[in-house]
């Protein structure tokens, strides 16, 4: 669709003689405005920059990279280096290093060490619960003592989830208020074992650590890899848009510059 738009713009602005650099620049600028979803009506000839041949080629490279972004295709580092100036690429790299993701906040390296024992008990309970699920699906039911194998392992997992809850309660009771608050901030739900609370002794109602891969975790965060990919794409799009705008529009004159320009014009008129 966007490629067809570019072809239509070239045809609409096609000259009878050989196309000049200025003409091709205007075509590229109008296509860039289409990619940036800005109205071309506002882009009259007075507001558009006159580009050199090198600047026109740079704008074309920026448009190619923007086209990839619009089509949800990953933009390669080489394409960005080619499209952006050294200063623009350096600013882009600085943006991508900003720790703004929840994946950084809830990284396991930052996890309070008090949670280690609780997570170990939770892991044991999850493994036992999974064993109960497999036994329940088995086409050849087995018995352990007076119970079916599925019920035996289910009761065992309930006991282990209860031990994990007791461990968490002990951790919260023995620490000071600040430590307890920090630990609770890592849990996906309030830790309330009362009759009105939401903590139980099964896989779905125990507290999970935020960022856990368990399907029962109520709060999930992106993996670091996914977060970095998303940040790279967002920063790349922003940098390319800013670079394109700098090559499309004339810089807005400040009050000081406008005053100097007016004085120069008045001086010429007096002569």
| Average pLDDT over every residue of 155-165 | 93
> In terms of DSSP H, where are the helices of the chain?
2-12, 21-35, 53-70, 77-83, 86-96, 102-105, 115-137, 149-174, 177-185, 224-248, 255-270
Phi, psi angles (nearest 5°) of residue 217:
-70, 130
Scored b (16 or more CB within 10 A) or e, 149-181 reads bbebbbebbbebbbbbbebbeebeeeeeeeebe
* pLDDT for residue 100: 52
* Same domain flag for 179 and 246: no
Q: Check whether residue 51 and residue 72 sit in a common domain.
A: yes
The tens digit of pLDDT for each residue in 200-244 reads 888 889 999 887 888 888 877 756 676 777 788 888 888 888 888
At 187, phi and psi to the nearest 5?
Answer: -90, 150
Q: What is the pLDDT of residue 41?
A: 45
Residues 113 and 75 in one domain: no
Do both 93 and 151 map to the same domain? no
d(CA 24, CA 148): 79
Arithmetic mean of pLDDT over the chain: 77
**In total, how many domains does the chain have?**
2
pLDDT of residue 47: 74
The pairs formed by 228-233 with CB atoms below 8 angstroms and a separation of 24 or more are 228/96, 229/74, 231/95, 231/96, 231/98, 231/100, 231/101, 232/96, 233/69, 233/74, 233/75
Domain co-membership, 109 together with 163: yes
Residue 209 pairs with which residues in a beta bridge?
A: 187
Same domain, 129 and 83: no
Average pLDDT over residues 40-56: 67
Q: Which residue has the tokens 């019920």?
A: 151
Following DSSP, what letter does each residue of 5-22 receive, concatenated?
A: HHHHHHHHT--SSPPPHH
Same domain, 169 and 59: no
pLDDT for the residue 241:
87
- How many percent of the chain have pLDDT more than 90? 14
Q: What is the pLDDT of residue 120?
A: 93
Residue 54 clears pLDDT 90, i.e. is over it: no
**Statement to judge: residues 210 and 240 lie in one domain:** no
Question: Are 172 and 215 found together in one domain?
Answer: yes
Question: Tens digits of per-residue pLDDT, 101-158?
Answer: 554 555 667 778 888 899 999 999 999 999 999 988 888 888 888 889 889 999 999 9
Q: Is residue 263 part of a domain?
A: no
Please tell me whether residues 86 and 107 are part of one structural domain. no
Which residue segment(s) compose the domain that 92 sits in? 2-100+228-251
pLDDT interval class at 53 (50, 70, 90): confident
Q: Check residue 22 and give its pLDDT.
A: 64
Residue 12 lies in a domain: yes
pLDDT at position 128 is: 94
33 and 74 part of one domain: yes
Indicate the pLDDT class of residue 38, thresholds 50, 70 and 90.
low
Kindly report the number of other CB atoms within 10 A of residue 207's CB atom.
24
pLDDT at 12: 47
Give the tokens for residue 261: 């320009």
Residues 196, 154: one domain? yes
């Amino acid at each position: 669709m966007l490629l067809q738009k570019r072809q239509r713009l070239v045809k609409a602005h096609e000259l009878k003689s050989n196309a000049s650099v200025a003409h091709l620049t205007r075509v590229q600028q109008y296509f860039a405005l289409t990619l940036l979803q800005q109205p071309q009506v506002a882009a009259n000839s007075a507001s558009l920059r006159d580009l050199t041949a090198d600047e026109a080629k740079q704008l074309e490279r920026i448009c190619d990279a923007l086209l990839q972004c619009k089509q949800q295709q990953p933009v390669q580092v080489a394409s960005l280096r080619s499209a952006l100036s050294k200063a623009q690429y350096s600013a882009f790299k600085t943006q991508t290093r900003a720790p703004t993701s929840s994946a950084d906040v809830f990284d396991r390296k930052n996890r309070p060490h008090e949670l280690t024992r609780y997570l170990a008990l939770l892991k044991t309970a999850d493994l036992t619960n999974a064993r109960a699920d497999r036994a329940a699906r088995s086409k050849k039911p087995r018995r352990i003592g007076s119970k079916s194998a599925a019920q035996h392992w289910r009761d065992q997992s309930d006991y282990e989830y209860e031990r994990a809850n007791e461990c968490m309660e002990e951790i919260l009771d023995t620490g000071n208020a600040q430590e307890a608050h920090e630990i609770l901030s890592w849990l996906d739900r309030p830790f309330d074992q009362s009759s009105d609370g939401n903590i139980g002794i099964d896989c779905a109602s125990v507290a999970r650590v935020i960022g856990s891969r368990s399907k029962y975790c109520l709060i999930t965060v992106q993996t670091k890899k996914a977060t970095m990919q998303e940040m790279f794409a967002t920063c790349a799009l922003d940098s390319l848009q800013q670079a394109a705008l700098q090559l499309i529009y004339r810089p807005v004159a400040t009050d000081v510059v406008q005053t100097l320009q007016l004085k120069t014009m008045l001086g010429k008129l007096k002569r």
